[in-house]
Amino acid sequence: MSAGNPPLRPLHGLVALKLAYFERISTEGLCASLRPGGEHCLKARPDGTLLDGHHRIAILKQRGVDVDGLPREILPNPELP
């Protein structure tokens, strides 16, 4: 796990159709699509709650990738000042 980043945790459930789509993409391709700076990069709240990337993270976990160590864009929690 990256220093200072809490473990990722899902905000919602997964959709089978989306999982099937992402299962066809290589591990390298999924990791590249999650890199910060892209439109649909890995986004999470400071506490690790996933905001974008749920399905790709689920597939990578199944493949044994340490997803908690992936770089992420941190977005503030809207409920906090």
Q: What angle do CA 62, 43, 25 make, to 5 degrees?
A: 40
**pLDDT of amino acid 76:** 87
**pLDDT of amino acid 81:** 55
- Going by the DSSP 8-state scheme, the letter that residue 9 receives in this structure is B
**pLDDT of amino acid 80:** 60
**pLDDT mean values, one per 10 residues, the chain (81 residues):** 78 95 98 94 95 97 96 84 55
Q: Taking Cα atoms as reference points, which of 51, 57, 56 lies closest to residue 76?
A: 51
* Distances in whole angstroms, Cα of residue 53 to Cα of each of 19, 44, 80: 11, 9, 23
Burial of 11 (C-beta count, 10 Å sphere; 0-12/13-18/19+)? exposed
